[in-house]
Amino acid sequence: MSTATRVVVSYPADLSGWGRQQLDTTHFRGYLRRVHDDVEVGDVWEEFLDVGCCGNSLDVPLRVEEVDGDVLGEETDVDYVEREACGLEGGWQVQSEAGPTASSGR
């Protein structure tokens, strides 16, 4: 088995701006490297994204688009690309009726 130097993971286009910010954090990238050992193109990971102290849960389907090895390691770079929308709804509905959406940019 070879450790990947890079993995490209896609997220749905209708993921909110807040959700995209959560994906981009150092701790979330580290989390992905820790919890996903073996990795193949086409794998789909249903991942929880933090929506704040009062928000509803937001499970996002992340899909492996490219990988140059068999396993993720501490040094594997995690990059993201956007893919087609999937009807994802989530956000701060408990805190704000409007809630953040991809179209609002929040």
| Domain edges within the chain | 6-83
pLDDT per position as a tens digit, 13-72: 998 888 898 899 999 999 999 999 899 999 999 998 865 555 556 789 999 999 999 999
pLDDT per position as a tens digit, 21-30: 889 999 999 9
51 neighbors 58 (Cβ within 8 angstroms): yes
Beta strands 77-83 and 6-12 are: parallel
Of the pLDDT bands very low, low, confident and very high (cuts 50, 70, 90), residue 100 is low
pTM of the predicted protein model = 0.79
- How much is the pLDDT for 37? 85
What single-letter DSSP state applies at residue 56?
Answer: P
N-to-C CA span, the chain: 40
Tokens for 31? 């989390």
What single-letter DSSP state applies at residue 55?
Answer: P
